[in-house]
Structure 1
Amino acid sequence: MTDSLRQHPAGDLVLARVGARTVEYRTHGEGPGTVLVFHGGHMRARMALGEDVFTGAGLRVLVPSRPGYGRTPLITPTAPAEGFADDLARLCGELGIDQVAAVVGISAGGRTALTMAARHPGLVRRVILQSSVAFLPWPGPRTRLGARILFGPGTEAVTWAFVRAMIRFVPELGLRALTRDLSLLPVGQVLARLSAADRATLTELYASMRSGRGFAADLLPVADCTSRVGQPALVIATRNDRSVPFAHAESLAAALPRAELVESRADSHLIWFGSDYPAVAARIRAFLGTEPGGPASA
């Protein structure tokens, strides 16, 4: 992995009133172009993962907490993606951003990223999807039931407190328990391939997660907008992903008019920990135009 997880202090976070909603967000990096990053489930703006590929290429990242995560409230639980996409377009305008080099959707944040691209084509130049949920049924019935029990609004705080305690007192057990649901490979094999630094980063990642009301909203259906996303799209996924099956990436690559599918060899849903991530990162930079042979930068 090329960078580490960073927990940004509260002073780095901004609460903005955008229309009828309060949006929590963070910016990081300097540069003439901006990348808008929508994190996946159980993550929020305070957490930074996989951003160095963008900031290292001279781009700034704008990272909001999606509805129900962090201090961004869940105002419209039946259709948060559409309203939030419009709110983020307004926020970009207020920040003086008239175009983003790419919108990045990670895991459950992929649908929000695609909705943003579809609703605001003049603002979004490109789309990057990383282990992204498509518009197929997701998750499976057993996982959905378990998620509602463990990560519902009334239980998620207890669940993550237990996870943090497990990580602190029996870290190996904690790593195995959480990583098992992210990979189709034997969990011992996945963990054995991680460097000491990556194991430390993964431990910190798990210990920092919260679900708020956001993950329950992530389980709701979102209107399929792929036919209206005309921007170039880079779809990155691994066949070893248990959390979001590779069929989702194949579905997105087939449905998006200008998509390219990049198959990662990562052992799990977390592609940043894959041995081939440097090559994946190079492909991202080329797609953004920050390496020779790529399209022009925003």
Structure 2
Amino acid sequence: MSPDHPGEALGIVAGGGSLPRIVAEAARAAGWRPVVVRIGDGIDDDWTGYDGGAFAWGRTGDAIACMTASGVRRLIFCGTVSRRPDFRSLLPSVRTLLRLPAALRIVRGGDDRLLRTLTRYLEREGFEVLAVQEIAPRLLAPLGPLGHRTPRSDEIAALSLAAQAARQLGELDIGQAVVASDNRVIALEGIEGTRAMLARVAELKAGGKIGRREPCALVKSVKPQQDQRFDLPSIGVATIEEAATAGISAIGVTAGRSLILGLDDVIAAADRHDIALVGLDEAVPDIIASGEHN
């Protein structure tokens, strides 16, 4: 998506990690003027050279006022927010206090419900919420094998089982990631996130709970009911490194509905660790068996 005019403000509600900066750079290159509102895990990041500011949860109302004053009509959510706001334990600003009843309704339920409710609230405030891929479409995962090798037959079976489990996990709005072998599910992502789940798998491997030659696959899958404007499953180089430490030999992500943060670097890391990296067809996961390459 292009701005309506050069220098149009684009709000970026930025958590932690590399994604917000990737989006901000893509937006600036396309002619937008990014206004970066730092929250959660990204509150201490250095955004010198960008408009915006850092806002604790107790100043949520001030963050909205900042974007409005900066001319923001469209905005994007991106980045890691590992802890939910607890408005009951905060001393909110006046602007936040005025919005407190709505804020308390927003933080109930799973992540998908939270984001849908938050989006509806911001739309009532006059904002249009965009998807990351509307500004940075190159981040979307391609279809098929992405690295130097295709998965082996046992890895295909592991990817298939993990994909099935991930879909059911997503239907319950629990998580997006699953690790499985060719005949059993090993780990499900909960509120701890993918990194902590992979650390748990590494401990299981070290403790002999996973066989030395047992093929393990990681799948990150979009939730069936997920709003495509936020929280798409994503992987980066760090994911590859953590998966390698956990003994993962194949990784699958939903093609066209997942984000790869730095495709060339991620493929290089997967090749370095001899991990089969695949963009999965959501409807036909067996696309990985066809030998198609991008």
Question: Which TM class, normalised by the smaller chain length?
Answer: 0.3 to 0.5
TM-score normalized by the length of structure 1 = 0.32
Rg larger in structure? 2
TM-score normalized by the length of structure 2 = 0.32
Higher RCO structure (Cα 8 Å, ≥6 apart) = 1
